Amino acid sequence: MTSESSSSEPIGGGSELTEDYFAKNSQRVRSVCILFTLRRNPGLVNGIMTVIRPAIHRLDEQVHNTRISQVALATQIDELSQYLKEINDQQSDVHYDLDSYVTKLDDSRRRVSSVSQTLQSIQERLSQLQRGIARESHTQKQQIRPSTSDSSNL
């Protein structure tokens, strides 16, 4: 008898947890394991926060500064594009092919806009991460305080 295990067979004899489930949800399973570990080790949370918080703040500041630069660049591209269109309209007797440059500038503006939207999304994720970490840290501190006050009453 050969017992080849297929990915759809349940793991652990009848359980609904299959290899397919773990393959499809591996990131979620890892996240749950990490959260479980962090909840059981408040000192670990505080240590991680001490290390990560400055890096997150620096990254958030850099993303913010980059977004400001992207907006300024988009504005300058729009101004230059408008200026080239005006030159092209005024120079009807001289045949410069400025339309291709205007098209390239418009394409660049779209790219800058796309990067700006991506940066905004990243900044929002960082903010959510900061709030989540702060919330978890606060929860851990609240759980530690009652247990230390209980032990001081002994």
Q: What is the mean pLDDT of each run of 10 residues along the chain (154 residues)?
A: 44 56 72 74 75 84 88 88 81 71 85 87 84 81 66 51
Residue 12, pLDDT score: 45
Residue 2, pLDDT score: 42
Q: Which helix (H) or strand (E) holds 30?
A: helix 26-40
Range of the domain at 123: 53-143
Residue 27, pLDDT score: 73
148: in domain = no
Task: Tell me, rounded to whole angstroms, the distance of Cα 76 from its chain centroid.
Answer: 28
Domain count, the chain: 2
Task: Tell me, rounded to whole angstroms, the distance of Cα 8 from its chain centroid.
Answer: 33
- CB proximity list for 37: less than 8 A, separation 6 or greater: 44
Name residue 10's beta-bridge partners. Answer: 18
Residue 38, pLDDT score: 72
| pTM of the predicted structure, to 2 decimals | 0.47
135: in domain = yes
Residue 44, pLDDT score: 73
Residue 150, pLDDT score: 52
4: in domain = no
Residue 147, pLDDT score: 58
Distance, CA of 137 to CA of 42 (rounded, Å): 8
104, 36: one domain = no
CA distances from 32 to 37, 39, 121 (A): 9, 10, 24
Name residue 18's beta-bridge partners. Answer: 10
130, 62: one domain = yes
